[in-house]
Amino acid sequence: MRKILMVAAAVAAFSATAVSAQEVTTTSASEGNNTSFRGFRLEGNLGGDRFQSQGRHEDKFGYGATIGFDGVIADRIVVGPEATYWRANNWTENCGAATGGSVCHKSFEEFGVGVRAGYLLTPRAMVFAKGGYVTNEQRKAYNSATPGASYYDHFNTTGYQVGGGAEYTVTEGRLPVYVNAQYVFSQYNDHTSRHRIMGGVGVRFK
């Protein structure tokens, strides 16, 4: 239930910010900037995932999706909200020896909501930074040789996310197609973290 409420709140915040961004886009469009970096966008993401916990890490291939909305301010500044989903293929898990047994820490899906701000180098090329809130499903299990000392904990942890990258519009038209490359770091409140280096392919709905 907690996870559902957090996602619902994130979607509500995303929708409210998108409405405000729509007003910025409409105003900027009237100023004559012909960039395609405006409107709703839908994007698929692929790349490398590193989950860090207990002084260990595991690297895997990961994939996800992003939905966002961009508005243009003063012809050069692109800003708007985005919501993200990410998971490593077959999840990521760090296991190692612990006092009297072994412990495994596993990471599942991550959901995020935040804001992205960019600067247009040309009407088709942009560099950007991003930040926001994330929630990650995790599991921690301790296997002890002592009877009754083992435990299993399945929970959700929250935190923040920061990152940046570059984006380029490949095709113009009614449904512009774009590609990007980005690095994203997530810090969770249980002292675990995630690094991602990924590429994206998306389409805009102007």
pLDDT tens-digit series, residues 76-128: 999 999 999 999 999 999 998 888 889 999 999 999 999 999 999 999 999 99
Predicted confidence at residue 36, as pLDDT, reads: 86
Q: Record the tokens describing residue 170, joined without a space.
A: 């490949």
Predicted confidence at residue 99, as pLDDT, reads: 81
Question: Looking at the domain covering 2-205, what would its CATH class be?
Answer: mainly beta
Predicted confidence at residue 174, as pLDDT, reads: 85
Predicted confidence at residue 136, as pLDDT, reads: 98
For residue 75, give the nearest of 133, 34, 131, 15 by alpha carbon: 34
* Residues 9/135, Cβ–Cβ less than 8 Å: no
Residue 180, SS3 per DSSP? strand
Phi, psi of 185 (to 5 degrees): -120, 130
Sign of the Cα torsion 30, 31, 33, 35 reads: negative
pLDDT in tens, 34-70: 788 999 999 999 999 999 998 999 999 999 999 999 9
* Residues 117/130, Cβ–Cβ less than 8 Å: yes
With 80 as the cut, is the pLDDT of residue 18 above it? Answer: no
Segment 16-33 mean pLDDT: 43
**DSSP collapsed to 3 states, 9-62:** HHHHHHHHHHHHHHHHHHHHHCCCCCCCCCEEEEEEEEEEEEEEECCEEEEEEE
Half-sphere exposure of 20 (CA within 13 A, CB side): 10
Question: Distance (Å, rounded) from C-alpha 138 to C-alpha 43?
Answer: 25
Predicted confidence at residue 33, as pLDDT, reads: 63
With 60 as the cut, is the pLDDT of residue 26 above it? Answer: no
Residue 175, SS3 per DSSP? coil
pLDDT in tens, 148-188: 788 899 999 999 999 999 999 999 888 999 999 999 999 99
Question: Distance (Å, rounded) from C-alpha 162 to C-alpha 115?
Answer: 10
Q: Is 73 exposed, middle or buried (0-12, 13-18, 19+ CB in 10 A)?
A: middle
